[in-house]
Structure 1
């Protein structure tokens, strides 16, 4: 049995963009081995460029309720998780910690990386008086589900996803009883968004 590596934790910053893109890409590649059941999870993944990732990190880390914790071995980022402090519902003050994106490099799985990250997340939640910790992970990630169940997490919700254009099309179809009308409206909305984005990114004279 190989010795467990020395794991160092710290907060992520904008300069970690390239390393985090590499980590997410490596974890996505490993998920392809899970077969056709992982199709939905894979369909939601799009590899960003480093500049996009840096901007996204800056946006995320600019929020006071968000924290990204990274795990390093010998200076390499080999794991990460995202902490989000919020309330249980919009109408009460019960504070909860939502833990998402529990990413661990396949090369370092079963070496206590996930438990080390979760321990740090739990401490973060305690520091913010969170009464409950919620972990949100992809439905077909079997190993993380087994691990979280083993340490006491219970299923309390189901997350479902759909492309926004497809949702709008289907809702419009249901309202008008016309599939063609729904698709046409969805296409028009998409074109308007793209045109607006193109105008906003054009350099000013």
Structure 2
């Protein structure tokens, strides 16, 4: 397979339609029209800030790949920073031609410019091809990220909010009261 001649560059305001076509090409990112309108404002935010960057791979002025890069804390409670790679996506017609590798190279270069020691990325849980690609580059799994709609999670949790969470800053709740409230909630649900 030949390598496609592509260029990797930072996003420009005029790239909104091309990014929408690429990122919304499958249903996992959401095909709804409201999501399509968010990309221009996201691009404006990225261009105005310093902690985010979108890189695009372009062939003949057409976006064939993109990645959203963000600098943030490596982990909570640490001062170490990392570059997080989100929404790494390559058009199906240009896969296995070095485009994703070029986008990851841009992420590593930005991490080096920013003085960060790590690059982290998220691959879809069902994306075997993406996971294998990232493993070949030397990225290893460090966590499992799970997500659920708030309403679905609420349906699985007790309806009664524990007193510790409910109480305001001025209220003092002891552990015994919280545990008693939880037990009462469980008893009422099992009946």
The two structures have a TM-score, normalised by structure 1, of: 0.72
Paired positions, count: 164
Give 1:60 deviation, angstroms.
4.1
Question: Equivalents in 2 of 1:60, 1:96: separation in Å?
Answer: 17
| Residues 27-66 of structure 1: CA deviation (Å, up to 9, x unaligned) | x16xxxxxxxxxxxx3x62444553321233234433211
Pairing partner for 1:45 from 27, 30, 38: 30
Conserved? CA contact 2:6–2:58, under 8 Å: yes
Question: Equivalents in 2 of 1:18, 1:107: separation in Å?
Answer: 18
- 2:10 corresponds to: 11
Pairing partner for 2:70 from 70, 84, 94: 84
Asked if 1:138 corresponds to 2:124, the answer is yes
Give 1:91 deviation, angstroms.
2.4
- 2:23 corresponds to: 24
Question: Equivalents in 1 of 2:30, 2:143: separation in Å?
Answer: 22
| Residues 77-122 of structure 1: CA deviation (Å, up to 9, x unaligned) | 0000011111222322212111111100001000000000000110
Conserved? CA contact 2:24–2:31, under 8 Å: no
Gaps of 5+ in 1: 30-41, 180-205
| Residues 143-194 of structure 1: CA deviation (Å, up to 9, x unaligned) | 1101111121110011111112333443343655578xxxxxxxxxxxxxxx
Conserved? CA contact 1:79–1:113, under 8 Å: yes
Conserved? CA contact 1:97–1:134, under 8 Å: yes
In structure 2, the CA distance between the partners of 1:74 and 1:159, relative to structure 1 (3 Å rule), is: same
What RMSD in Å do the two structures reach over aligned CA positions?
Answer: 2.2
In structure 2, the CA distance between the partners of 1:56 and 1:164, relative to structure 1 (3 Å rule), is: farther
Give 1:21 deviation, angstroms.
1.0
Question: Equivalents in 1 of 2:78, 2:91: separation in Å?
Answer: 37
Asked if 1:104 corresponds to 2:90, the answer is yes
- 2:143 corresponds to: 157
Question: Equivalents in 2 of 1:56, 1:48: separation in Å?
Answer: 15
* SS, match of residue 157 in structure 2: helix
Gaps of 5+ in 2: 162-184
Pairing partner for 1:122 from 80, 84, 108: 108
More helix by share: 1
- 1:74 corresponds to: 60
82-91 vs 105-114, greater mean Cα deviation: 82-91
